[in-house]
Structure 1
Amino acid sequence: MTNNPTIDGVPGLRALLERLAYPKDCDDGYFDDVELLRALLEVPVVECQPVALSIPEECPHLIVFDDNDRESMLFAGAGSRSAALKTWEKISMSWNAHLFVRIERNSRDDRYPSAEAYTAPPEVAALQSTIAQLQARIAELESARGEPVMKLEAERLLQGDGEYAFSFVKAGWLEECRKTGGEFLLFTAPPAPVSDKYDEVLLPFLSLMRAELHANAHKGDRPGWLQMDRNTAVLEVFYHLGKLHQAVHRDESAAIKEHAADVANMCMMLLDVCACLDATAALNNKPSTEVKP
């Protein structure tokens, strides 16, 4: 019997497959095994994430050829990584080969360093997360941006004279308009959003509030909290404030974030219940400035 990493990596899987492949009797135990296998197949797939390696210059490298007539090439010591990469670049054009880097050793006499998994410092990981969020937001904004159909080129006026010209960016757009008829308004590109001096702290906190709202949406969402009266809404603020106070006392960062967002959301809900938000006032067909507490 040979070892199969895919099978033997899951405890009990080999014994289960053997019972299914070679059933002595088709009894209830057999069908129990089938149910176990089905349950195993329903386990969510865990995607393997690539691991970044920190490879020292003196780390040993090995080039192995598919052709058995060619001997493997080992590089170790000062400049081994540069030499291995240069050699690999040359031979990979003509030979089927594989470049390996050592990640572990069991020889006491070998003093050359091995490659190690690179773990980014917390500040770098936080920055990468922020960059990923910004890239996702940019992609979201670009996907919602209208498609350009027409372009106006105009010269700057000099003493009352200036040339201008129109051109169609989207081919066939004029024909489409003529088929349907009607008026078509062309808009200039929207101005770049103006950042506020408090965005650095407000936007992350807004993200926490939004996350908590979605996490508790099953409790009734906005129609649910609008069923509260004002006194109940105020009590909810104090209730979540107490939970926040306990989290601060215990110095639990995750709980502090969660309960601080909850307190802010409860204050927002209180304003909504009291019709002190513009959105609520619009639903009631009256300006928020006319709403009395």
Structure 2
Amino acid sequence: MINSTVGLDDVDVAIAAARAGAEAVRARYGQRLTRVDKGAGDFATEADVAAEEAILDVIRAARPDDAVHGEEGGQRGAADAVRQWWVDPLCGTLNYAVGTMLVAVNVALRDGPAAVADPFSGEVFFTDGATAWVRRDGSDTRLAPTAANGLVDVNLDPPFPSAPGFRAVDLLAHPGFVATFRPRVVSTTLALAWVAAGKRAAYVTDGGDLTGSVHFAAGIALCRAAGCVVTGVDGAPTGPAGRGLVVAADAGTHALLLSMIRAEARAVTS
């Protein structure tokens, strides 16, 4: 691995790392895996840990001085390092543990390149920070968001930090939502890559500031580079004071979803 990473630029490191993680995930699929309890119903598996180690091997070989924050191993190197990699080795662990092939491997350099690998389709979605692409069967295709399919992925997993003002599940009760869109629940941030790729019209999730989250950093970077509209659920820019995400393929879809979110919030608090 050390020889194979010599001379790679940052976007190539992100792609190689995501691919290494995806290989570890795919190799263990369907096996009986030990679970590590994280509390509150959350857990990791041997596949999560193995994928993170595979990703770390790539980053350490190519960028030994960089810091890394991993979902499983925590912080390695200075938390305030200028060069910090965010690693989510298996987003969708519960899906994976029950045999559902809807997961993502997320690798992102803060304020830089990022890659999201789908272990089962073989696709790697990536960005150099300016443009976004998908690599499939050795060919790269520019990502082109579109809302034409009308599919909106809504994260229904608790907790709901914006409740009672907003819960993502409440959006499904808005009559205009089901009249305009078709809800989907993938339960993995692979859905963000799908918005960038035109496989989803939008993605909505509750939460705080997700821009520095190992789960969301790579997907957000992809969507921004692809030209998607990215804000919090309140329509404000994402950042330290942010609240969740509304990521849409175009401005019209984004505005419509925000109007529905605000209508549901008013109905709950009135």
TM-score by length of 1: 0.22
Please identify which structure carries the higher strand content: 2
Please identify which structure carries the higher helix content: 1
Greater RCO (CA < 8 Å, at least 6 residues apart): 2
TM-score by length of 2: 0.24
Bigger radius of gyration among the two = 1
